[in-house]
């Protein structure tokens, strides 16, 4: 940890913000390790103007106010109205005077405090919204979880460095937060975007299926989902214990094969793999779950072989790219090219 982030963590009392009257932790609070990593990437300096999306308990608002110091400001936007007075009261009793918490949809940002030197989000938008871009200074840093494919659960935490109003560097690390939602979420465990078929059982994790390739094929996603629920075969994962599913996932996002699909497999949680009209095959942490034609398992196996041939690149070999569109900056992952000096001719 840098001294600045370590000092802020030491100065702001986590329990003061997060603990509920009955001693439990507010559900809308984040892991401290993830917060610290993202604050390192954000690099808030004294005097900075900071936009925060997803106030939650107000703990990160307190950290940001500490990092920006008495000459900086923090504008924090939270979609759940009930959390606003709670966060405001705790910020006040913690002596924070430079942060403002407002109720709204973070997709709109907060023009009242613009231009911002830093933007940080603790909930996942599908693109970096154009409002945030309109509200940043010419030189700025944005750290946010964001979707990296039109695929449910495909996200990364990216750091976008903006120089002269244009993105000049994008790095990506694994991780994600809840998807940004315009109103309270009622079904937990079901992604909000890019789910092509779903089933929510009583008292169990949902089943869902996401496949850009089958999205426009009438009936195909629900057929695959029905088969996954009723007659899937599960076997041991083909990945060895030394091989990391997170790294393989990063490589899949970066190479983006057309048949790439994700699924929520109820109590097995989520899987990533391949789907065609004839079947689907998904890797979970320890299993291969498949339905339909063995050709789909062959496709997934071929991807694993290609990943091995490429030296099993993982998140450390991945960079982000941003592509402007009408909604903002779409983020995609790409394989980092080796430095010329490392190439063997
Ligand atoms: C992981 S929590 C934030 C935790 C917070 N950083 C803390 O320290 O307690 C994510 C927050 O984002 C909020 N959120 C979700 N969608 C949002 C949106 N569209 N606009 C603003 N906030 C949103 C959630 O209500 C939740 O409080």
Domain boundaries, the chain: 3-173, 197-309
Spatial CA neighbour of 18 closest among 55, 68, 71, 73: 55
pTM score > 0.85 for this model?
Answer: yes
CA distance 258 to 272: 13
Place of tokens 């500490």: 66
* C-alpha span between 215 and 193 (Å, rounded): 12
pLDDT digits (tens, 9 = 90+) for 245-293: 999 999 999 999 999 999 999 987 899 999 999 999 999 999 999 999 9
Percent of the chain with pLDDT over 70: 97
pLDDT, position 345:
55
CATH class of 3-173: alpha beta
Does the structure show a pLDDT above 90 at 298? yes
Determine what percent of the chain is predicted with pLDDT higher than 90: 88
Decide if pLDDT at 303 tops 60: yes
- Ligand 1 pocket, 77 CB below 6 A? yes
Q: What is the pLDDT of residue 269?
A: 81
**CB of 78 closer than 6 angstroms to any ligand 1 atom:** yes
Mean pLDDT of 156-185: 91
Ligand 1 contact via 123 beta carbon (within 6 Å): yes
Q: Is the CB of 56 under 6 A from ligand 1?
A: yes
Indicate the top mutation candidate among 28, 132, 175 to test ligand 1's pocket, ranked by most ligand atoms within 8 A of CB. 28
CA triple 238-243-245, angle to 5 deg: 80
Residue 104 predicted with pLDDT over 90: yes
Mean pLDDT of the chain: 94
Q: Which two tokens stand for residue 225?
A: 């989902």
**Across residues 220-233, what is the average pLDDT?**
95
CA distances from 155 to 105, 139, 258 (A): 20, 25, 17
Kindly state the average pLDDT of the residues 104-123: 97
Tokens of 190: 């079901």
C-beta of residue 246 within 8 angstroms of C-beta of residue 318 = no
Neighbours of 95 (CB within 10 A): 8
What would the mean pLDDT of 54-60 be, rounded to a whole number?
97
Nearest atom (ligand 1) to Cα of 61? 8
pLDDT-derived band at 344 (thresholds 50, 70, 90) equals: low
- Centre of ligand 1 to C-alpha 232, Å, is 36
The response to whether residue 121 sits with its C-beta less than 6 Å from ligand 1 reads no
């Amino acid at each position: 940890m840098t001294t600045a982030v370590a000092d802020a963590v030491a100065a702001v009392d986590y329990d003061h913000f997060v603990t509920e009257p009955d001693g439990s932790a507010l559900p809308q609070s984040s892991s401290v390790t993830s917060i610290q990593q993202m604050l390192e990437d954000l690099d808030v300096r004294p005097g900075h103007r900071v936009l925060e999306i997803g106030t939650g308990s107000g703990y990160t608002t307190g950290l940001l106010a500490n990092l920006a110091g008495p000459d900086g400001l923090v504008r924090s936007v939270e979609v759940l109205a009930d959390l606003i007075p709670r966060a405001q009261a705790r910020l006040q009793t913690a002596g924070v005077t430079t942060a403002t918490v407002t109720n709204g949809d973070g997709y709109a940002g907060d023009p009242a405090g613009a231009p911002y030197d830093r933007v940080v989000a603790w909930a996942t938008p599908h693109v970096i919204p154009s409002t945030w871009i309109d509200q940043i200074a010419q030189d700025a840093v944005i750290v946010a979880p964001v979707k990296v494919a039109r695929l449910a659960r495909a996200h990364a935490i990216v750091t976008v460095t903006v120089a002269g109003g244009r993105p000049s560097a994008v790095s990506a690390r694994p991780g994600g937060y809840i998807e940004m939602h315009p109103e309270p979420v009622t079904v937990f465990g079901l992604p909000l975007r890019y789910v092509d078929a779903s089933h929510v059982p009583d008292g169990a994790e949902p089943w869902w299926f996401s496949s850009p390739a089958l999205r426009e094929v009438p009936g195909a996603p629900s057929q695959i989902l029905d088969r996954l629920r009723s007659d899937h075969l599960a076997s041991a994962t083909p990945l060895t214990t030394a091989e990391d599913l997170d790294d393989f996932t990063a490589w899949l996002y970066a190479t983006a094969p057309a048949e790439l699909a994700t699924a929520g497999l109820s109590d097995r949680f989520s899987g990533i793999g391949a789907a065609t009209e004839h079947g689907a095959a998904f890797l979970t942490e320890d299993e291969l779950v498949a339905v339909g034609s063995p050709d789909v398992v062959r496709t997934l196996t071929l991807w694993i072989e290609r990943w091995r041939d490429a030296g099993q690149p993982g998140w450390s070999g991945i960079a982000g790219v941003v592509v402007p569109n009408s909604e903002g900056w779409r983020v995609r992952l790409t394989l980092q090219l080796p430095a010329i000096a490392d190439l063997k001719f």
